[in-house]
Amino acid sequence: MSKWIHVLVVDDDEIVRKALEYSLKLYGFKVYPAEDGPTGLKLARQNKPKLILLDWMMPGMDGLEILSELKHDKRTEHIPVFMLTGRGMIGDLDQAFDVGADDYITKPFDLMELGKTVKAKWEQYTNQTKVQ
């Protein structure tokens, strides 16, 4: 692929970040990794990625707090955010979408298939919103 899709991955687990980076690269994504919320917010504002993959359960600032800040900031409110989390109950889904999540991927997931899943969800999102 000649043009990379820049994606910010915010997850406190280094193994998950590295595995996501590897898997997503296979599908044309260039990953900016962040190990916590403050770093993720800084990178989102600086790099203006096309997509953010955001872990929900992290120490300190959790994914919903980060999501809320992203969606209330003029610099980042337009960036689609896909939540990555082990919280898969209906109420959890509703809560994430109420705060501003654009999609949701539940853990556990096959890391090698995740790149394919993210690519498919990204294409579906861009086709629906006409964002390129």
Per-residue confidence in pLDDT tens, the chain, 132 aa: 458 999 999 999 998 899 889 989 998 999 999 999 999 999 999 999 999 999 998 999 999 999 999 999 999 999 999 998 876 667 878 888 999 999 888 776 776 678 888 888 888 888 877 644
Give the CATH number for residue 25: 3.40.50.2300
Torsion angles phi and psi, residue 92, rounded to 5:
-65, -45
Range of the domain at 76: 5-129
Given this model, what pLDDT does residue 125 score? 80
Given this model, what pLDDT does residue 1 score? 42
CA angle centred on 53, ends 47 and 57, rounded to 5°: 120
Domains: count for the chain: 1
- pTM for the structure as a whole: 0.88
Instruction: Let me know: does 9 contact 31? Beta carbons within 8 Å.
Output: yes
Q: Which residue has the tokens 């820049």?
A: 6
